[in-house]
A and B are shown apart, each in its own frame.
Chain A
Amino acid sequence: MLAPARTERVVSSPARARPAPRTRLALSRRMLTFLQAAPLAAVLIVFLLVPMLVIVVVSFFDYDSVQIIPSFQFTNYTDVLGSAVTWRTYLNTFRYTVIVWAITAVLGFTVAYVLAFEIRSRTAQMVLFLVCTVPFLTSNIIRMISWIPFLGREGLLNSALMKLGLIHQPLEFLLFSDFAVVLAYTHLYALFMVTPIFNTMMRIDRRLLEAALDGGAGWWRTVFEVILPLSKSGLAIGSIFVVTMVMGDFITVRLMSGGQSASVGLMIANQISLLQYPAACANAVVLLAIVLMMIAAILRIVDIRKEL
C-alpha cells in the first residue's frame, strides 16, 4: 500500500525545517484549535441559531395584511393548533412520511445489501456505489420534472399499458396525485438510505456471516438475525434523513400533487407568500418540535454514536 517513494517524500520535506520553539506550543495550540473552529461556529450561529431564535420570537408577534407587529401573544399558536386544516395537514404529512420511510428503508436495505455482499469485485462495488449516489448531486427539481413524460396522461407508462392491452383508458392517478408524490420522494430520497446502510454493512466482519452459515443458519436467517441488527445504525441515520426531509418538504408536494395535496411545509410556504410571517413562524416552531421529537425517538431505539 505505502510505496517507499512516498515515505521518502513525506518525511523528507519537513526534515529541512527548522525546529519549532516548544515552550509556546501548548498555549498557541489551544488558540489555534479555537481559531480553526471559529468560522464554522460563526456561520452556524449567524445563519442557523439566530434565525431559529428569530422564528421563535416572531411566532409571538401580531400581524395585519401589510406588516408584522412586535407583540407577545399566543394567538398564532391557538390559531395553528385550533384549526382542523392544520391537523389534517399534519396527518397527511405523517402519512407521506410513514409510507416513504417504509419504502425507502426496505429498498435502501436491499440495494445496500446487494452492493455490499453480492458484488464481489471491489472495483465493481465502488463503481456501482457511485452510480447509486451521483443523482444526489444533480438537481432535485429536474429529477421531479423528469417524471412528467413518464406518468402523464399520454406518458410512457400509460401508452405502454394501452399498447399491451392491459388498460383501455389512460390511468389518471399516475401524475398529480399521492402516488406521484410518494414515487418522487422515493426517487429523491432512497439514496439517503442506501449510503449510510452500505457504509455500516461494509464494516461488518465477513467471518460472522460465514460462522452463521456454517452454524446452519439459512440465508434468510443470516440476513435477518446477523446483517439486519448490525446495520441498525446505518438504517437509523438514513431514517433521520428521510423523515426530516419528507416532514419539511413543500416543493415535491406542490409539483407532484398538482396542488391537490397538502403538507406542513407547503402550508408554511403558503403563509409566507401571503406575508403571514407570525403564523408561518408558529407553524415552523410546531414542525421543528415534532421533527426533533421524531429524531429523539429514533435515537432512543438505535444508538448511532459508534457511526460518528
Chain B
Amino acid sequence: MTASAIRRALLLGILGLFILFLYGPTLTILVLSFQGPDGGLTFPMNGFSVHWFRRLFETQAVGDFGGSLMRSFSLAAMVMVTTVVVSLAAGMAFRRRFKGSGALFTLSVASLIIPSILVSLGVGLLFNQLGLDPDWYSSAFGAQLTWTLPFGLLIMFAVFNRFNRAWEEAARDQGATPWQSFRHVVLPIITPSVIGIALFGFTLSYDEFARTLLTAGSDNTLPLEIFGMTTSVTTPVLYALGTLTTVFSFVLILGTLVIVRVLAARRA
C-alpha cells in the first residue's frame, strides 16, 4: 500500500468513527428500551419485552406523556407553518435593498447567537411584567420563532443566492404580474428548499428545550417533560420515550427526504 492509500483509509476510518460516535449512544438506548420488566438502565439485557413502551402510556409512570406530546405536536405544527410563511416572505424581501434591511439582518443573526436561556428569561419576564400568563401557544411559540426564523431566513439566502433571475425576467416579459411570476415560476423552483425549512421549523420546535423552559407556563411540552423525568425516573421507561421520539424524528426526516426526491424526479 502506498502512503496515500494508507492515509485515505485512515481518514475514511475517522469518518466512520465519527458517525459511530454520533449514532452509537442512541442505538444503545434503542436496544435498552426493549429491556424485560426486571431490566435496569444498563446492560445486560434482562429479557426482551415491550413492557416499558406500555408503561409509557400509563399516566402514573410518566407525568403527562399524552398531553405534553399533543402540545409539542401542535406547537411544532404552528411553528412550522409560521416559519415557512414568514421566512419565505422575508427571503423575497431581502432580494432587494430596503430601508432597515441591514438592521433586520443584524437582528436575525443576533437571534441565533443570543443564548437561549436569555431569550427564555426575557420573554418570560416580558409576559410577567405585562400581567400576561405565559403559555405554550403564546410566549413559548414566540420564543421558539426567534430560533427557527433566522434558520429559515439563512436557507432562503442560500436559495436565492443560486437563483437564476432569468426565469423571472422571462415571465415578466411575457406579461406576468409579480404574484403570477412568484406562484408559477419562483415557487416551483424553490419548493424543495421550502420543504426543508418546514422540516427545520417542525423538528427544532419539537425538540426545543431552553427557549421553552421559562415561557411554557403551567403545561409542559414533551422536552420539558423528558427533562423532568431525567431527575425522577430511573427505569428504562426513559429510554422507551427516547426511542419513540427519536424514531418519530427519523420518520419525519426520511419522509421529507423522500418527498423532496419524488418532487425532483418528477421535474427532471
The answer to whether B126 and A137 touch across the interface, beta carbons within 8 angstroms, is no
Among the listed B129, B178, B226, which residue makes an inter-chain contact with A32, where contact means beta carbons less than 8 Å apart? B178
B137 at the interface (CB under 8 A from A): no
The answer to whether B185 and A47 touch across the interface, beta carbons within 8 angstroms, is no
Give the residues from 149 to 177 in chain B that come closer than 8 angstroms, CB to CB, to chain A: 149, 153, 157, 167, 170-171, 174-177
The answer to whether A48 and B89 touch across the interface, beta carbons within 8 angstroms, is no
The answer to whether B15 and A11 touch across the interface, beta carbons within 8 angstroms, is no
Q: Interface size for chain B: under 10, 10 to 19, 20 to 34, or 35 or more residues?
A: 35 or more
The answer to whether B123 and A47 touch across the interface, beta carbons within 8 angstroms, is yes
The answer to whether A141 and B223 touch across the interface, beta carbons within 8 angstroms, is yes
The answer to whether B43 and A146 touch across the interface, beta carbons within 8 angstroms, is no
The answer to whether A137 and B104 touch across the interface, beta carbons within 8 angstroms, is no
The answer to whether B12 and A118 touch across the interface, beta carbons within 8 angstroms, is yes
A128 to B14, CA, bound (A): 13
Chain B 178-202: CB-based contact to A (< 8 A → 1; otherwise 0)? 1011001100110000000001100
The answer to whether A47 and B86 touch across the interface, beta carbons within 8 angstroms, is no
CB proximity of A228 to chain B, nearest CB, Å: 15
The answer to whether A145 and B122 touch across the interface, beta carbons within 8 angstroms, is no
In the complex, which residues of chain A have a beta carbon less than 8 angstroms from the beta carbon of B92? 33, 36
A18 to B176, CA, bound (A): 7
The answer to whether A54 and B122 touch across the interface, beta carbons within 8 angstroms, is yes
B263 at the interface (CB under 8 A from A): no
Among the listed B21, B118, B175, which residue makes an inter-chain contact with A187, where contact means beta carbons less than 8 Å apart? B21
Question: Known: A10-B185, A37-B93. Is A146-B28 also a contact (CB below 8 A)?
Answer: yes
Q: What total count of A-B pairs have CB within 8 Å?
A: 281
Q: DSSP class of A's interface residues: helix, strand, loop or mixed?
A: helix
Which of A74-82, A84-92, A154-162, A204-212 binds B?
A: A154-162
CB proximity of A29 to chain B, nearest CB, Å: 7
The answer to whether A139 and B245 touch across the interface, beta carbons within 8 angstroms, is yes
The answer to whether B122 and A134 touch across the interface, beta carbons within 8 angstroms, is no
CB proximity of B189 to chain A, nearest CB, Å: 8
A272 to B123, CA, bound (A): 13
Among the listed B96, B185, B209, which residue makes an inter-chain contact with A33, where contact means beta carbons less than 8 Å apart? B96
B interface, CB within 8 angstroms of A: 4, 7-8, 11-12, 14-15, 18-19, 21-26, 28-29, 32, 41-43, 85-87, 89-90, 92-94, 96, 98, 100-101, 104, 107-108, 110-119, 121-123, 125-126, 129, 142-143, 145-146, 149, 153, 157, 167, 170-171, 174-178, 180-181, 184-185, 188-189, 199-200, 203-204, 206-207, 209-210, 213-214, 223, 226-227, 230, 238-239, 242, 245-246, 249-250, 253, 257, 267-268
